[in-house]
């Protein structure tokens, strides 16, 4: 499954209803969260590929999840390993996880624990879809950033990048690179 298919599946009414019911949220809030969370996670992963340790760690994680049944997970959120999802979220955002969750909560009018719960469901699904694509396209660590950027462009999510960057940029200096460099150390180290 490619990322565009995944985004379309995750934002259709039935799927949004199912996801919203798992966290006690309404459909509008949940759809907005999915629309913000997916590109935010992808952008953070992309920025982490800037150093070889980040790219190598992400490749290891993608290969681990390359045969995941993404369609099954989207159709039945109870089948998603949310413990693994929490670990993935923490690897992606590291010490910024709580701040990103708070920012997403503020943008969607959800509680932080609801955001955290949704992220822990979305992260394994996203990693599985990216792993499927990585396997099909033969992507390696050296061209992982190009793969992620190309994937984001195909989804039409590139217009959201200013919003995504504001969710990630602690210093409000317009650059998330200084923030992302701090994430690298722990990124997928334990995967």
Does some domain include residue 189?
no
Instruction: Domain of residue 14: give its range.
Output: 3-184
Classify residue 97: in a domain, yes or no. Answer: yes
Kindly state whether residue 91 falls inside one of the protein's structural domains: yes
Give the pLDDT confidence of 67-87 residue by residue, as tens digits.
Answer: 999 999 999 999 999 999 999
Number of structural domains the chain divides into: 1
In a domain, 11, yes or no: yes
Q: What is the pTM of this model?
A: 0.80
Contact call for residues 60 and 188 (beta carbons, < 8 A): yes
113 Cβ partners below 8 Å, 6+ apart?
A: none
Look at residue 191 and tell me if it is in a domain: no
pLDDT at position 174, please? 42
Residue 18 pLDDT exceeds 50: yes
d(C-alpha 105, C-alpha 113), whole Å: 9
Q: Is residue 190 part of a domain?
A: no
| 157 pLDDT more than 70 | no
In a domain, 88, yes or no: yes
């Amino acid at each position: 499954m490619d990322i565009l298919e995944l985004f379309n599946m995750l934002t259709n009414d039935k799927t949004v209803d199912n996801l919203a019911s798992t966290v006690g949220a309404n459909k509008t809030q949940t759809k907005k969260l999915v629309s913000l969370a997916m590109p935010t996670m992808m952008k953070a992963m992309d920025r982490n590929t800037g150093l070889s340790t980040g790219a190598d760690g992400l490749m290891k994680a993608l290969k681990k999840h390359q045969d995941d049944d993404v369609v099954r997970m989207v159709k039945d959120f109870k089948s998603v390993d949310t413990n693994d999802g929490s670990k993935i979220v923490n690897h992606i955002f590291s010490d910024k996880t709580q701040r990103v969750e708070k920012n997403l909560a503020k943008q969607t009018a959800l509680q932080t624990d609801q955001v955290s719960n949704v992220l822990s469901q979305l992260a394994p699904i996203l990693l599985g879809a990216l792993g499927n694509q990585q396997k099909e396209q033969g992507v390696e660590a050296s061209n992982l950033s190009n793969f992620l950027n190309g994937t984001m462009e195909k989804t039409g999510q590139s217009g959201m990048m200013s919003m995504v960057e504001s969710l990630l940029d602690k210093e409000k200096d317009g650059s998330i690179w200084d923030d992302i460099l701090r994430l690298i150390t722990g990124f997928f180290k334990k995967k």
